[in-house]
A = this chain, B = another copy of it.
Amino acid sequence: EIVAAVERAFGGGPLAGRRVLVTSGPTHEPIDPVRYIANRSSGAQGTAIARALADLGAEVVFVTGPAEVSPPPGVEVVAVETAEEMRAAVHDALPVDGAVFAAAVADWRVANASGSKMKKTAGALPELELTQNPDILAEIAGLGSDRPALVVGFAAETDDVVANATAKRRRKGCDWLLANDVSPATGIMGGTENRITFITEDGAEDWPREGKDAVARRLAGMMAEALA
């Protein structure tokens, strides 16, 4: 940690001169001014990745939803709440050399969100109309001239991890996909560890179950090699 801080202070490290983007945390999708749809992402994995990349000398833009974990020091923080805001912040951050999409972006938002607090009226139940949120990972992976050289996605799977994640990587068009098994039995979601299945066009590789910091350092090291 001290070596990394010294290297960073002197502008060293294998990612010196590289600009990378990391998204992290959940998004909150409003129902009305006081209610919203959320998800259980703590932001721990994305925060660890941003820290590990900064430790290797990268200039990090950290686009984060409302996470429990505080952003790491030494990165440019862009705080957002909704998927639409995250998408805009990501486009604003371009161009970057590498991009890691670790945020748990809500798949859906409420199309008929109310500008004033919905009242509880006896017997009446509000109908929430959901609509698809933008797929930020697929959008950035599919860019032409502005596409980052290395695009990394995450996939939270609950079953058939390798098959589902392999198909997802192809569908999204990203270079690497880090799939984790979030079925409740694993205790991964909201926990301190991760067990990653690492998917590239060459196939799938199981990483050991390890702390989120260790996963982050492993990924950051591989990114440094790929962007060298």
A residues contacting B by CB (< 8 A) are 28, 31, 33-41, 104, 106-108, 116-118, 120, 125-128, 130-132, 156, 158, 182-184, 189
On whether the beta carbons of A128 and B128 are closer than 8 Å, the reply is yes
* CB-defined contacts of A39 to chain B, threshold 8 Å: 34-36
- Complex copy number for this chain: 2
On whether the beta carbons of B38 and A36 are closer than 8 Å, the reply is yes
Closest chain-B Cβ to A164's Cβ sits at a distance in Å of: 9
Complex alpha-carbon distance, A37 and B29, angstroms: 9
Complex alpha-carbon distance, A184 and B114, angstroms: 13
* CB-defined contacts of A126 to chain B, threshold 8 Å: 108, 130
Given A39-B36, A117-B182, A189-B34, CB of A130 within 8 Å of CB of B132: no
Query: When the two chains form the complex, which single residue of B28, B108, B116, B182 contacts A34, counting CB atoms closer than 8 Å?
Result: B182
Other 9 A-B pairs with CB < 8 A, given A33-B184, A34-B40, A108-B125 = A34-B41, A34-B189, A35-B37, A36-B38, A107-B118, A116-B183, A125-B130, A128-B128, A128-B130
Closest chain-B Cβ to A133's Cβ sits at a distance in Å of: 9
On whether the beta carbons of A38 and B40 are closer than 8 Å, the reply is no
* CB-defined contacts of A41 to chain B, threshold 8 Å: 34
* CB-defined contacts of A28 to chain B, threshold 8 Å: 38
Query: When the two chains form the complex, which single residue of B107, B125, B132, B182 contacts A131, counting CB atoms closer than 8 Å?
Result: B125
Complex alpha-carbon distance, A34 and B33, angstroms: 22
